[in-house]
Structure 1
């Protein structure tokens, strides 16, 4: 996904340079940008699985990556300050892994809406970077237990930081590349709490897509 972002950004920069003489729309108060993106949600690291008494089990909980389409909406409060909301959902496998063990124990869908406040320092530029920060809510749903295990993952609130770039094309079209780091911890209970894990999901949310400015 990172290679895809780099390649797409390089391609669009070349395109933007070739189209330098064409019209594009600067950012302005009241503008709305609608983004259609391919987004990868990649949890940060594994978490140790312990017993109800806190003893090490020798296993770790591994949460897999997923790529899905997402929608984003950016509304400009001024020509430099905007608020963005993203909508999308991804599905993730949870595996118990350890020496000689790699078992699928759970599949779950995650609805992780993120709302950020953004700063766009170059509102009149064709290549317009931005940074942002905000909050997210992790909602787990449509859970499916696997291989005789039962798993319960708690919902909760986290926070996010963001960096991205809009590359302005002709007729209010844009290319958008965006990366968010979401910080979120959750508790996972396995087999009614006989085993448990404190999971620091902290996913990296990487997106590339096409956008329209209204």
Structure 2
């Protein structure tokens, strides 16, 4: 497993360290969100074994919890059920994999008192790949995909229903790049770098 601390991830860690001392100065406010997101890998996913690779989309339920240090600034953890993706080489489906992509980050809410409040965020992602399998011509082959660390960007809108309930629409860009091995031999790097977009129902308490 590789640990690549990108400038984006390093900046996120510094922000987390900087805001921690003010947590005790604010009233406790939490936001719990439940929804669903589509993970849509970018269109060009690199070369594997000299062939063009492509990775399909998947949609799964997601949940997040955010602690608001101030009305504007919060720290958030995103989790999800495992996403499953088919992998094609030169247009032929030859493998599948599952992945868990939790994200930890900070969000800045621009107009928290308004009915509609946009926000921007930055964070760190860890993606765990597992249960990778060959299909078709690669059926029975041993395929592994390395875990990935990378930065993440976040943008969205909160729409208040009342003082406790709201809807959230958001999108994340996540940096995911992992070495792929076939029968123990590295055959290339999968450049996933997906957009994850979706809707959630949120409860503030």
| TM surpasses 0.5 | yes
Among 49, 60, 64, the residue aligned to 1:68: 60
Q: Is the 8 A contact 1:108 1:142 kept in 2?
A: yes
Name stretches of at least 5 consecutive residues in structure 1 with no aligned partner.
Answer: 1-27, 51-56
2:81 pairs with 1:108: no
Among 20, 28, 31, the residue aligned to 1:30: 28
- Match for residue 152 of structure 2? 160
- Match for residue 40 of structure 2? 42
Residues 102-127 of structure 1: CA deviation (Å, up to 9, x unaligned): 1x322211100001111112121111
Residues 78-129 of structure 1: CA deviation (Å, up to 9, x unaligned): 111001111112111112225xxx1x32221110000111111212111111
Partner-residue secondary structure (3-state), 2:203:
strand
Q: Is the 8 A contact 1:120 1:130 kept in 2?
A: yes
Alpha-carbon distance in 1 for matches of 2:195, 2:70: 28
Alpha-carbon distance in 1 for matches of 2:96, 2:197: 22
Residues 145-172 of structure 1: CA deviation (Å, up to 9, x unaligned): 3233432110021110110111011251
RMSD: 1.6
Q: Is the 8 A contact 1:106 1:150 kept in 2?
A: no
Q: Compare CA radii of gyration and give the structure with the larger one.
A: 1
Compared CA separation, residues 119 and 84, structure 1 to 2 (3 A): same
- Match for residue 4 of structure 2? none
- Match for residue 7 of structure 1? none
Name stretches of at least 5 consecutive residues in structure 2 with no aligned partner.
Answer: 1-25
Partner-residue secondary structure (3-state), 1:109:
strand
TM-score of the pair, normalised by structure 1: 0.77
- Match for residue 79 of structure 1? 71
Q: Is the 8 A contact 2:132 2:145 kept in 1?
A: no
Among 120, 124, 142, the residue aligned to 2:131: 142
Among 180, 185, 208, the residue aligned to 2:199: 208
- Match for residue 90 of structure 1? 83
2:177 pairs with 1:178: no
Alpha-carbon distance in 2 for matches of 1:78, 1:187: 40
Moved more, 145-154 or 122-131: 145-154
